[in-house]
Amino acid sequence: GIQVEQSPPDLILQEGANSTLRCNFSDSVNNLQWFHQNPWGQLINLFYIPSGTKQNGRLSATTVATERYSLLYISSSQTTDSGVYFCAADSGYSTLTFGKGTMLLVSP
Amino acid sequence: EADIYQTPRYLVIGTGKKITLECSQTMGHDKMYWYQQDPGMELHLIHYSYGVNSTEKGDLSSESTVSRIRTEHFPLTLESARPSHTSQYLCASSGGTGGSGNTIYFGEGSWLTVV
């Protein structure tokens, strides 16, 4: 099946800083999603983005399908952005495969 | 916002007990999923369903079973709980039309501790 790798595994930021999270995948995808898991375990879908660029407030995501990677940008980070960010992908032959996540800590 | 509900949210049970984790969604989604996640770790798919009377095992071997008798309901059952089953169980669903119909929505999770 498809392999999904995320980097960096951990990230510590000062409030107000910007960051970029990366997701590499091993096959062409017809489904790629980014999620945020808060400290209480709740998973929230951020973007459905198999290709192209989307923006939602301070967050934006870009997927370059031909080069098999996706980026999640967080601008002007806030403490509430802390948590784990997961990328998940599906090449169309199965269900979503999740990466191991990037743990983000934003300090005041 | 997603309308997908899990009960119980937290449960501590003894070894050997039978437990059913409930999951319901009000979005009319055809596809439903159960994931298992240990704290700080990645998600592993244990069961999924593409519609009523359809269930499949996921990537991670699990001693649990599921049923899909109604579109909105996808319960997960452990016949005999063991300490190794201690984990968070996340239910999810997806559906709708077009590419965005692949968007997955998660419930709040059920934290199970087997003592």
The predicted-structure confidence for B47-77, as pLDDT tens digits, reads as follows 999 999 999 998 887 789 999 999 999 999 9
Chain B residues with CB under 8 Å of A48 CB are 99-100, 102-103
What gap in Å lies between CA A99 and CA A102, rounded to an integer?
9
Over residues A49-99, the pLDDT tens digits come to 999 999 999 999 999 999 999 999 999 999 999 999 999 998 876 688 999
**Which residues of chain A have a CB within 8 Å of the CB of B41?**
100
Q: Vertex A25, ends A73 and A5: CA angle to 5°?
A: 70
Phi first, then psi: give them for residue B103, nearest 5 degrees: -60, 130
Residue A105 CA: distances (Å) to CA of A97, B14, B64, B89: 24, 35, 34, 24
Strand order of the sheet with strand A52-56? A4-7, A19-25, A69-74, A59-64, A52-56
Q: Tell me the chain A residues in contact with residue B104 when contact means C-beta distances shorter than 8 Å.
A: 33, 45, 88, 96
- The DSSP symbol for A34 reads E
pLDDT band at A36 (very low <50, low <70, confident <90, very high): very high
Contacts of B19 (CB under 8 A, 6+ apart): B11, B13, B77, B78, B81, B112
Half-sphere exposure of A104 (CA within 13 A, CB side): 31
Chain A positions touching chain B (beta carbons under 8 Å) = 1, 30-31, 33, 35, 40-45, 48, 50, 84, 86, 88, 90, 95-101, 103
Contact B42 A86 (CB under 8 A): yes
- Retrieve residue A28's tokens: 């062409």
Within 8 A of B113 by CB-CB distance, chain A residues are none
How far, in Å, CA of A24 to CA of A33, rounded?
12
Q: What is the 3-state secondary structure (H, E, C) of A41-95?
A: CCEEEEEECCCEEEEECCEEEEEEHHHCEEEEEECCCCHHHCEEEEEEEECCCCC
B40-59 burial, b at 16+ Cβ within 10 Å, e below that, comes to eebbbbbbbbeeeeebeebe
Tell me, what's the pLDDT at B12? Answer: 97
User: How do residues A5-33 score in pLDDT, each as one tens digit?
Assistant: 999 999 999 999 999 999 999 999 889 99
B100 in reach of chain A (CB within 8 A): yes
Given a cut of 80, is residue B97 above it in pLDDT?
no
Check CB contact of B90 with chain A, cutoff 8 Å. yes
The CA distance from B15 to the nearest CA of chain A, in Å, is 24
How close does chain B come to A26, measured CA to CA in Å?
17
Chain A residues whose CB is inside 8 A of the B108 CB are 40-42
Average pLDDT, chain B: 91
